[in-house]
Amino acid sequence: MERGLLAPLSPNEQTVLRRVAKGITKPKHLRSNSVERLKRLALVEESGGRIRLTALGQQRCLAEVPTPPHAPAA
């Protein structure tokens, strides 16, 4: 399994990953040190002056979608 799927992310790295997934792709709007680590983990890549999710980054985002809380048992 790819390291990028398993490596723990800091809260800042998680935020950057979510922002990129939502379409915020200009590097000036993203923490550069978080972007660099996400690149090393192959979760994002830079192309044409924009940051975008890789296929692995898309997988990671889907894996981190929070599930709704369960209803309390009666």
> For residue 71, what pLDDT is reported?
62
End-to-end CA, the chain:
40
Q: Mention every residue, 6+ apart, whose C-beta is less than 8 A from residue 17.
A: 9, 38, 43, 44, 53, 57, 60, 61, 64
Q: Mention every residue, 6+ apart, whose C-beta is less than 8 A from residue 45.
A: 39, 51, 52, 54
Architecture, CATH, for domain 3-63:
Orthogonal Bundle (1.10)
> For residue 65, what pLDDT is reported?
62
Residue 50: DSSP 8-state: E
pLDDT means per 10 residues, the chain with 74 residues, are: 83 94 93 96 95 95 70 63
Hey, where are the domains in the chain? 3-63
> For residue 72, what pLDDT is reported?
67
pTM of the full structure: 0.81
